[in-house]
Amino acid sequence: MVSDEIKDRAIALAGAILESEEYKDFINKESVLKEDEEAQRLLAVFQEKQREFMAMQLNGEMNEQLVNELSEIQNKLNSMSSVISFVDSYQRFVNLLGEIGEIISQEIQFDFGEAYRG
């Protein structure tokens, strides 16, 4: 069970993360992406095609046309400003969380990554 002091400090850390520029930018860019109807349409098509591809792979099948369609959709998505901005802000936010995790790992001399890798 987590002590009240540790819980309070974890909540304070979460609050600081919520106030970070990386988090605010991530939420902003996520909102912009959600409002981009063309990007949302392409993402839905991509996810459906991806499910088809995975089902075919599980059956040992390969469909070159489906692979080409996925690649084409991915290229379109990768060229959209809302997607580019979202991916960039997401990566910066994940990096922030990773750095925080590394600092905690160093301070307590425990490698969380190693513990999860087994």
**Domain CATH number, residue 19:** 1.20.1500.10
Residue 4 phi/psi, 5° resolution?
-60, -40
Quick one: pLDDT band at residue 113, thresholds 50, 70, 90? confident
Residue 29 · residue 92 · CB < 8 Å: no
Output the pLDDT for position 118.
65
Which range of residues forms the domain containing residue 69? 4-117
- Give Cα 74 to chain centroid, integer Å: 16
CB 32 within 8 A of CB 85: yes
For the four alpha carbons of 49, 51, 56 and 62, in that order, the dihedral sign comes to positive
Number of domains observed in the structure of the chain: 1
pTM: 0.83
Which structure tokens are listed for 113? 């990554």
* Structure confidence by residue, pLDDT tens digits, 74-100: 999 999 999 999 999 999 999 999 999
Asked whether the beta carbons of 35 and 42 are under 8 A apart, the reply is no
Tell me the per-residue pLDDT of 5-64, one tens digit each, with 9 for 90 and over: 999 999 999 999 999 999 999 999 999 999 999 999 999 999 999 999 999 999 988 889
Q: How high is the pLDDT of residue 112?
A: 78
